[in-house]
Amino acid sequence: MLEIDVLTIFPELFGPFLDTAFVGMARRDGAARIDTHDLRGWATDRHRSVDDTPYGGGPGMVMTPEPLVPAIEALAGPKGPDRKVHVICLSPQGRPLDQARLVALAAAPALLFVCGRYEGIDQRVLDLAVDEELSIGDYVLSGGEIPTMVAIEGLVRLLPGVLGNPDSIETESFRGGGVLEGPQYTRPPVYRGLEVPPVLRSGNHAAIEAWRREQALNRTRARRPELLDAAPESRSDAGIEETKRPLGDPTHPKRD
């Protein structure tokens, strides 16, 4: 079972998300435990403050280490080689999250997601208590909660033993590290004058497979050409199995 804790000042944002569809099913089936924790529970002052004005000036407020570091340590223990909980913060400053990283994280025993708000988190929190920063894309939101839900949804569908997910994550990692999906169709055969490609209705499974591969490659070349540089079927090492990486060894090496 994957154990996930979320530290946030808005635990109510997670309510229906955690109870619905695949994530709700995974929790009910015991494939995942996911709990939220209100950061204000660790605030000690009269106003239950979690933020303060930025040193050096500038707009808005910064999350102070004072309730945040004790909260992370209470939920995950002190940072270091003995900590079994991997602590993640979703932020625009993180390395890009991708399918390969999700596959590695889904194999962890326990994860703690720390959700930032305001203009950001005091750097000492990240230095003292957070293991990894991840980004879901190059845009700014108002907090880390929705990116955390993105990561959790991606993780939960990789867990074994959830009804309706594949026994093996082999197909998932192939899709994640490979090319975009091509077009898909269902009935009716003609809709508003647009016909389903006849090859899909031909019953010729070899022709269908070849057509799908060609469509996927064409679409990838047009929309995401950079993926083809890394796609297994376009590489000289095609067919050689990828080595499994431990948690502390992310796909994208640190450059700073």
By CB under 6 A, name the binding residues for ligand 9WO. Answer: 59-60, 90-92, 116-117, 119-120, 135-137, 140-144, 147
Specify the residue, 142 or 218, whose C-beta has the smaller distance to ligand 9WO: 142
Write out the two tokens for 95: 């390395």
DSSP string covering 116-183: --TT-B-HHHHHHH--EEEESSSS--S-SHHHHHHHHHHHHTTSTT-TTS-S-SHHHHHHHHS-----
Q: Smallest distance from the beta carbon of 53 to ligand 9WO, in angstroms?
A: 13
From the CB of 140, what's the least distance to ligand 9WO, in Å? 5
Shorter beta-carbon distance to ligand 9WO: residue 143 or 177: 143
Closest CA relative to residue 217, chosen from 172, 181, 184: 181
State which residue, 137 or 248, has the beta carbon closest to ligand 9WO: 137
Supply the minimum distance, in Å, between the C-beta of residue 142 and ligand 9WO: 6
Which residue number, 54 or 182, has a Cβ lying nearer to ligand 9WO? 54
Strand 2-8, strand 32-38: pairing: parallel
Q: How far is the CB of 172 from ligand 9WO (least distance, A)?
A: 21
Type of residue at 25: M
